[in-house]
Every structure is written in structure tokens, then in C-alpha cells.
Homo-oligomer: A and B are copies of this chain.
Amino acid sequence: MTTEELILSMARDAREASREVAKLSTEKKNRILCRVAERIQERADQLKEENRKDLEEAEKRGLSRAMIDRLTLSDKVIKGMAQGLRDVAVLPDPVGEVTSMWRRPNGLVVGRMRIPLGVIGIVYESRPNVTIDAAGLCLKSGNVVILRGGSEAINSNRALGAIFSEVCREEGITEKAVQVVPTTDRTAVLELLKLEEYIDLIIPRGGEGLIRFVVENSKVPVIKHYKGVCHVFVDESARIDMALKIAYNAKVQRPGVCNAMETLLVHKNIAEEFLPQIYEKYRHAGVELRGCERTRRILPQIKEATEEDWYEEYLDLVLAVKVVDSLDDAIRHIEKYGSLHTEAIVTENYENAKRFIEEVGSSTVLVNASTRFSDGGQLGLGAEIGISTTKLHAFGPMGLEELTTRKFIVYGEGHIRE
């Protein structure tokens, strides 16, 4: 079978399976999730064995330490996957929820009911735990999933997918509910992206390169975010202690993730007091600052920021700093250079807080809290399948609800249109 035939047949199986999976009871889905969790832990040794093959190959190919870390199925990662599945099992089932219902003047009763999207393709890199996390969320939301991980994790991903299918079989449901693409052939991704007839949504997870490749080649709708150029604006009325805490946390707590701050905006009337203090904190943490002219008048020891710095997602202990004249200036800067991901204001001023919340158009907007809270788990969605910075369908962190759509349901008594 060619790769093309293989992917087409997987996609057809997925569409067929989606009718069955959409109708599964909540009880059945939760039972499968919990049994997969159990099975993963029972099979830890076998999983680590398969993972070892990937790790040996990775060493041979000279992958970076960071890549190898992400690739490793340690006992801790395995336990984390199992716990993740149990966490999803206890979340409410979105399928069948009637989000609203109303009566029309003519007596028709109209409602909107959540249903699964159908078949979801996930294209991701490195971390094999995505296989289990994504499969769990898709099953819980009544969707069928086709998983295409990176070639470097192929043995781990196949082993994890096999466990999911095995439990599905034992529970008497189609083993095609979760399918891992078994080949590392790169054309497999291109094939997946063509099959709009069988696949309803593609979610790419990984670096900007992977995401651009998927967007440019997909006929299937894609939900994605390219990058997170997140801002914190320290308003003139900010409490200095709070601003220090938030600006430090947003940059330093985990600099390599998309919701970490990349640019700090400081109101001119608080800059002289605030900047030297945050500089000291950052210096201890090893953060490199790049400032605008006015910032460098206060902190002459730091580098100059270029125009490119304002667009940059460093994902590292580097931060661009700009002094602005007003809230309006801050908002204009975010509109011009931002990525619609996450922005925070630190302020004690009621009107500025209200305006920032209303006027900043990013997918998550915070007052007096770190940008690091822009995360499905932290915001209370229970789990996260990805983040969207495109506005269609979902905007911001996506949980189970975003893996569904809503149909109209209508109850009549013989109603006809006149």
C-alpha cells in the first residue's frame, strides 16, 4: 500500500468510526479513558522499551538535549499521561448539552445542541504524551482522531496508540476511534491535509515552521497560533510591588512557552521608579533586556531594541522594554506588534482596567495577573487541546467545548410556514 492509499483508508475508516463515536455514552467514554490510564501504567516497561528505540535513534541523529528531553517517556511522564486521562474523564461531557432553548411566538421550541466536530487530525512534534492527551480529549468530545506525530517519536507513538485501540476493542467499540499514522513518510502529512471530505479539522502543534507548513498546504480547516508575542503594560497607577511580581513571573517562570511575556510596556510616569527595580530582579535571573531610547535613559547599561525586537517571540530569557506615554500608546503598540495571543495590564485605575479589557483585541486579556495564566487548565477549561489566535471557531485556549459545534433542534406540533 502506498502512503497515499494508507492515509486515505485511515481517513475513510475515521469518518465511518465517527458515527459510532459521536453516539457513545458518557459512561462508556469515561470508562475507556480510565482503562487506558490503567493500561499505560501497567505497560510502562514496554512503553519505555519502545521509547528507547526512539531515543537511540535521536542520539544517533544528534538531536539537541532539549529535543531528547521532550521525547523521553520517563515514569513521571507516563504517570502524567495517566493522570491527564483521569482528569478528562471527570470533566462534564460536552456532547448533547443544550446551550439554550427558547419558544417562538408561533409555539415552535428551538434549541442549540452540542455535537462533535467529527474527525480531527493532529499534527505534532516530539512529545509523545501529546498522543495520549489529544486522543483523550477527542474521545471525550465524541470525535475520532488521526494522530501524526514527529518521525523521531514514531515507536513511542505507535505503542501508545496501540494501547488506546486495544482498550477500545475490549470495550466493544471501533478500534478506529484513535489511529496513529504508522509511517514516518513525510508525504503522509500532505495527504492528510488534502482529505477535506473525511477530516473536519486539523490542529497543528509545534514550532512556527510546522504550523506554516500545515496552513499553507491544508484544504481542511486549521486552527492554530503561530506565536505568542505577549505584553505586560505597567500603568502609571500600578502598585510597584504587584507590577514587579507580575512582570517577573510573566518573563521568568517559564520563558520557553507561548504565554510568557516578550515585551514590557511601562508608563512614562512610573518608569523611573519601576525600571531600576525590575532590572535588578531580572539581572539576578539572567534576563537580557533590550530597551527603547527612553528606557535606556533610565537603564543606560542595557542594549538598544531594534524595530525587529518588538515583533520577536524570544522564548528565552530576553525581553524588549518600551516606555509609553499613555494607555492609548500601549494599546496602539500591542495592536501593531502583537500576535493576538495574551496581554496584561497592571493598574489600580478602574477606567484603565475597563478600557484595556474592552479595547485590547487579543484572545486573552488580563488585569493584574500574569500572562502565564493564559492556559486552558489555568482558566478552568479543565484541559487544553491547543490555543487559537485566529478568530474563527475558537479564540484563545481550546478545551472540550471547542472540539464541538452546535446544531439547531426544533420541536413543533405540525408547524408549517405560511
- Which A residues lie at the B interface, using CB under 8 A? 19, 22-23, 96, 102, 104, 108, 110, 113, 115, 117-118, 200-201, 221, 223, 239, 241-242, 245-246, 248-250, 253-254, 335, 353, 357-359, 361-370, 372-374, 378-380, 390-397, 405-417
**Which residues of B have CB within 8 Å of A372?**
416-417
Q: Is the CB of B410 within 8 A of A335?
A: no
A115-B391, A117-B392, A374-B408 known, 16 other contacts, Cβ within 8 Å: A96-B358, A102-B380, A104-B380, A117-B391, A201-B392, A221-B221, A239-B414, A241-B414, A246-B415, A248-B416, A363-B408, A368-B414, A369-B413, A395-B407, A396-B407, A396-B408
Can you list 10 A-B contacts with CB-CB less than 8 angstroms, sorted by A residue number? A23-B358, A104-B378, A113-B358, A242-B414, A246-B415, A248-B416, A369-B416, A370-B415, A370-B416, A395-B407
Of chain B, the residue at the smallest CB distance from A356 is B409
Contact of A416 among B102, B104, B245, B363 (CB under 8 A): B245
A22 cross-chain contacts in B, Cβ below 8 A = 361
Q: Are B379 and A416 in touch, CB under 8 angstroms?
A: no
* B253 touching A416, Cβ below 8 Å: yes
A357 CA to B23 CA in the complex, in Å?
12
Contact B358 A407 (CB under 8 A): no
- Return A96 CB to nearest CB of chain B, in Å: 7
User: In the bound complex, what is the Cα–Cα distance between A367 and B409 (angstroms)?
Assistant: 8
Q: Quick check: B335 and A19 within 8 Å, CB to CB?
A: yes
Residues of B within 8 A of A242 (CB): 414
Residue contact A365 to B409, C-beta cutoff 8 Å: yes
Q: Given B110, B394, B396, B416, which contacts A246 in the complex, CB threshold below 8 Å?
A: B416
Instruction: Pick the contact of A108: B104, B110, B253, B373 (CB < 8 A).
Output: B373
CB distance from A107 to the nearest CB of B (A): 10
Task: Please measure, in the bound complex, the distance between the C-alpha atom of A269 and the C-alpha atom of B414, giving whole angstroms.
Answer: 20
Q: Which residues of B contact A415 (CB under 8 A)?
A: 246, 368-370, 373
Known: A392-B393, A416-B246. A411 touches B368 (CB 8 A): yes
Known: A96-B358, A117-B392, A392-B221. A253 touches B410 (CB 8 A): no
CB distance from A327 to the nearest CB of B (A): 14
